[in-house]
Amino acid sequence: MPDRSERLKGRVALVAGATRGAGRGIAVELGAAGATVYVTGRTTRTRRSEYDRPETIEDTADLVTGAGGTGIAVPTDHLEPEQVKALVDRIADEQGRLDVLVNDIWGGETLFAWDAPVWEHDLDKGLRLLRLAVETHAITSHHALPLLLRHPGGLVVEVTDGTADYNRDTYRNSFFYDLAKASVLRMGFSLGHELGPRGATAVALTPGWLRSEIMLDHFGVREDNWRDALDRVPHFAISETPRYVGRAVAALAADPDVARFNGTSLSSGGLAREYGFTDLDGSRPDAWRYLVEVQDAGKPADVTGYR
């Protein structure tokens, strides 16, 4: 196995939806493995999306470069096919290849109402959520996959929330949220059928309880004191940094036998057991097993044996 910083040297990745959260963590870890990483999103240093948050794609690109890769920020609205086509044309012109596509576009955090049935849910917000979370992935795959297929061994990662097993049996917050996350899981399966015979691999991947910028703000904590939230939300003890799922993607991208996972649903915790990586603090949280066996089972919070 080559040095971690050299594993993806010469490889080109596109992380679609890399402004913050899992997308940023994935982009940085791909950079730490030596890749050239194009990072996209709608918030730049001169313009914010409707999230109105301070994180920018330029910041993400700088983090990628600082980690040892080459970060390239390209402002892109993935609901606009002409913008996505221009993005892929640029990658083709500048690099001549695309080895890893990460579809992490989301943008729906403020658009769903918890536990509101579909007839009570704001319809415009629900449909907007589906467009942002599902249509964007389809548009991006449509334009990017011909470039990815130019060279054998390409990898597509569809980032979602929840494993196929968990989401099959669990209602996820609202009709629109549930449908969006199930759709992305199915994309990993469907793309596996289309890409496998053509020499590439597609998977669906979920982080666990993510300590994203938005989540930390929601609980009024920072990454350096996130445990202060445990008095109010004890099960938050199983949470993980965005870099953990980033390490999962980097491990998949560097695995010459990654095709064995084609079309499957994976998790950061499951892949940590497979590849042996840890989160930034050296722990190995397994959130989805914990949710089933502890949180959803109504047991007191106790991460012993789960991280």
Q: What sign has the CA pseudo-torsion 63, 65, 68, 69?
A: positive
What is the structure's pLDDT at 151?
97
> What's the pLDDT at 50?
87
Asked, for residue 235, whether it belongs to a domain, the answer is no
- Sign of the torsion angle spanned by Cα atoms 17, 19, 115, 288: positive
Task: Indicate which CATH number applies to the domain containing 114.
Answer: 3.40.50.720
pLDDT of residue 3: 57
Residue 227 lies in a domain: no
What's the whole-number mean pLDDT along residues 129-139? 97
Asked, for residue 152, whether it belongs to a domain, the answer is yes
pLDDT for position 1: 44
Distances (CA, A) of 108 to 131, 188, 248: 9, 20, 24
Q: What is the model's pLDDT at position 204?
A: 98
Structural domain includes residue 307: no
Q: Considering Cα of 211, then 69, then 73, then 26, what sign does the dihedral take?
A: negative
Mean pLDDT, the chain, integer: 96
Q: Which region holds residue 249: left if phi is over 0, alpha if psi is between -120 and 50, else beta? A: alpha
- Provide DSSP, 163-229: -HHHHHHS--SSHHHHHHHHHHHHHHHHHHHHHGGGT-EEEEEE-SSB--HHHHHHHT--GGGGGGG
> Is residue 226, in this structure, part of any structural domain at all?
no
The three-point CA angle 36-241-153 to 5° equals 35
> Does a structural domain hold residue 30?
yes
Domain extent for 114: 4-213+241-289
- Stretch 57-73: mean pLDDT: 98
| pLDDT above 70 coverage of the chain, percent | 98
Sign of the alpha-carbon dihedral angle for 231, 235, 237, 242: negative
* Percentage, residues of the chain above pLDDT 90: 95
Q: 133 with 106: CB under 8 angstroms? A: yes
Model pLDDT, residue 179: 97
Residue 305 counted as domain residue: no
Q: 41-55 burial, b for 16+ CB within 10 Å, e for fewer? A: bbbbeeeeeebeeeb
Query: How far apart are the C-alpha atoms of 213 and 85, rounded to whole Å?
Result: 29
pLDDT-based confidence at 6, cuts 50/70/90?
confident
Taking residue 66's Cβ as centre, other Cβ atoms within 10 Å add up to 12
Q: Whose CA is closest to 144, among 203, 182, 102?
A: 102
Stated pTM of the model: 0.97
Element (H, E) at 151: none
Does 300 fall in a domain?
no
How many distinct structural domains can be found in the chain? 1
Does residue 2 register a pLDDT over 80?
no
